[in-house]
Chain A
Amino acid sequence: MTDSLTPPVPEGELVLSLRGISKHFGAVSALTEIDLDVHAGEVVALVGDNGAGKSTLIKILAGVHQPSSGTMMFRGKPVTLADPSASLALGIATVFQDLALCENLDVVANIFLGKELDPLHMDEVAMETRAWTLLRELSARIPSVREVVASLSGGQRQTVAIARSLLLEPKLILLDEPTAALGVAQTAEVLDLIERVRDRGLGVVMISHNMEDVRAVADRIVVLRLGRNNGVFYPDASNQELVSAITGASDNSVSRRATRRRATAPLGQGHGP
C-alpha cells in the first residue's frame, strides 16, 4: 500500500486555484484559509462532516456567496464571482442536490430551460439535435428526449441535470451530492457519467458523503473539517484514514502521510493545523 502513495501528477491545465479563502457569517467562520486546486480532466472530491464547509465552498464557487478574504484564480486569471451568472459566464456550472428540473417539461425543454433558441419561434429541431448529441457524448441512457422528466428514474434525472450544465461548454462543473438518494445501478450510472465528463477535459468538483463513490471516481480527495483543509488523499487511501480525517480523530499516520505528500506534490494543498 505504501507503494501507491506517490500521487498521480495532474496533467491538465490548472482550471481553478483557491488560496487562503475564508468566509465569515457574522461571528461564525464557515471557511478558514482554504486552498484548493482543480485541473482539467480531474475529479476532485470534497468530503467532510456536516458543517465542514463543503456547501459554503461550492456556493462561493457558484457565485452564490462571496468570500470574506482570499484569492481565486480561474484559468490563470484572478477572478471575483459577484453573482451566479458571473460564475456561469466564466464557465463554472453547478448541479445542485435538488436537481431543479421541471417535471412537467420534456428532457429537451429542461436542458434548454432559460436558454431556448429563437425566442419567438423556438427551434425545436435544433434543440432536440443538440440534446441528443450531448446525451450521446455522455453515453447517457435516456429512452426519449420527448418524454416528460417525471417519467425518468433518479439516475436519468441526474443525467439530464448534468447534461444541462454542460450545455454552455463549462470548464469546471460542481456536483453537489450527485449520488445521494440513488440506487446501486443508478449510482454506477452517474459515476460512469462523471468519468465521461472528466474525459471531456472538464474539471469536476464533487461533494459526497459516500466514501465508496468517492474512491470509485475521484482522482483526489480533499477533506474539510470545521472549515479548514484537513488533508488531501488519493483513491487508494483506506476508509479508516478518510474517516479519521473527516471526523478529526487525530491519527498519527494520517498526519505523517500528509506531511510526506506535501513534500512530493508541488501543487499540494494546505493542511489543517
Chain B
Amino acid sequence: MTNETKDGAPSAKLLDRSDERVRHDTGVSGAIRGFLDRVRSGDLGPLPVVIGLIIIWTVFESLNTVFLSSNNLVNLLFDSSTVGVISLGIVCILMVGEIDLSVGSVSGFASAMVGVLWVDQGWPVILAIPAALVAGAFIGFVYSQLFNRFGMPSFVSTLAGLLAILGLQLYILGESGSINLPYGSGLVNFGQTLFMPHVVAFIIAVLPGVVTLILGYRTSGRRRAAGLSAPSINGLVVRAVVITLVLEGIVFYLNTDRGVPWMFGLFVGLVVATNYALTRTKWGRWITAVGGNREAARRAGINVRLIYTSAFMLCSTLAALGGILSAVRLASASQQAGTGDVNLDAIAAAVIGGTSLFGGRGSAYSALLGIIVIQSIASGLTLLDLSSALRYMITGGVLAIAVIVDALARRSRVSHGRA
C-alpha cells in the first residue's frame, strides 16, 4: 500500500480515503459535483418539491399579488400545520412500505371525541385530548395486529377502517352532527390567535444554525480523532450561516404580519423530532431496514412485527393529533371533519415531499415541504376564486406528477445502482 497521492495530500491516509479508485469530492466545487451526480442518478431528495414550490408560487403570485403577502402566508402556515401533522404520520407508515388510507377518518373521529368529551361531557381538556390520542393509537394497534397476525394488506384493512371509523365519528356526534368548541378557550386560541412573540421567533430561528454548528464541530473533531475524513469547518460555518439567514428572513417577513403561529411551531417541532428519531435512533434505522428488506431485517434479529406495530400506531396517533388541531383551528367538531380531501392531501403531501411509496426511503421533512405545496395550491386557487372542483383536479394532477417523479427516480436509481 503506497501512501503517496498525486495531488500531494497528507501522506497518512485516512481510514475512509484509502481506496484510490474512488473520487472523493472536497470543497465547494466537489459538493456541487457530488450533488449533480446524485441528481443525475435519480437520488433527487427534496429537489422536485423545491422546484415545484417555486413554480407554484411564481404562478400564483403573478395571478394575484395577495398570495405571497405575509398575511396570506401566516394563514397558509396555520392550515399546513393541521394536515401536516397527519402527513408526518403517513411518512412513518410509508417508510415501512405500508399505507394508512384511514387517516382522514381517524382525524375526524379524534376531533369528534374531543368535542363530545370536552364540550358535551364536561371532561377537562387535559384529559379529553389524551383520550382521543389513545383512541387513535388503539386504531393503529388494530391495523398492525390485522397485518401481523392475519397478513391483511394494510391497503385493505385501512380502507375498511376508513368507513368504519367514519361511522363511529357520525355515531358519537349523534343527532346534532356538529359541536362548537368555546371561543376564548386556550385551545381555540392556540388554533387561531396564538403567535410567538416576535423576539422569541427570532431566537428560535437562530437555534438550527447554532445546533448545526456545534454538533457539526463536535462530530468533525471526533471523526478526525478516529482517523476518518471530516467535513471542513469552513463549509460548516457557511451552512450554518445560510440556514440562519434563511430562517431569520422567513421569520422577519412573517413578523411583518401577525408572526409565527405556535401551532406551526408545534408542527415543525414534531417534524424535527421525527427526523431525529428516523435518522439517529436504532428504531428509525430499523424502520428503514424493514421498509427496505423485511427478511433481511428479520434475520438481523430485528423484531419486525414490533416495528410494524410502532409505525401503524404512530401514524394513527399523529392522525388523531392532526384531527384535534384542525378542530381547534375551526373551533368545531363536525361530521365533515376529516372527510373530503384530508386523506388524499396527507398522503399526497408525504409523496410530493419525496417519501417513496415503495418503502425504505423518505424523510420527516417531506411532510413539511409537501404540505406547503398542497396548501399553496389550495390557498392560491381560493384566492383566484376558483371552485373546489378545479382544486381537486389540480391537487390530483400534482399527486400524479409526484408519483411519476418518484417512480422514474426509482427506475433511474436502479439503473445507476443506487436503488
Contact = CB atoms under 8 A, between A and B. Distances in A.
Interface in A54-91: 85
B296 interface: yes
Given A102-B289, A102-B296, 17 more contacts: A100-B293, A103-B419, A104-B293, A105-B288, A105-B289, A109-B288, A113-B289, A122-B281, A125-B223, A128-B226, A129-B228, A132-B16, A133-B15, A136-B15, A136-B18, A145-B16, A151-B416
Nearest to B223: A125
A249 interface: no
Nearest to A144: B22
Contact of B296 (A101, A121, A125, A136): A101
Interface in B274-307: 280-283, 285-286, 288-289, 291-293, 295-297, 299-302
B297 A119 contact: no
Contacts of A142: 19
Contact of A150 (B15, B19, B413): B413
Interface in B402-419: 413-414, 416-419
A129 B230 CA distance: 13
Q: Which of A100, A133, A152 has the most CB of B within 10 A?
A: A100
Interface of A: 85, 96, 98-105, 109, 113-116, 119-122, 124-126, 128-129, 132-133, 136, 141-146, 148, 150-152
Contacts, number: 103
A150 B228 contact: no
B222 interface: yes
B149 interface: no
Interface string B104-131: 0000000000000000000000000000
B361 interface: yes
Prevailing SS type, chain A contact patch: loop
A104 B299 contact: no
A119 B282 contact: yes
B256 interface: no
Given A126-B226, A144-B22, A151 B417 contact: yes
B6 interface: no
Contact of B281 (A109, A120, A152): A120
Closest 10 CB pairs of A and B: A114-B300, A104-B292, A119-B282, A100-B296, A104-B360, A102-B292, A114-B301, A151-B417, A143-B22, A113-B300
Contacts of B286: 114
A128 B16 contact: yes
Contacts of A132: 15-16, 228
Contacts of A133: 15
A144 B25 CA distance: 12
Nearest to B302: A114
A222 B361 CA distance: 44
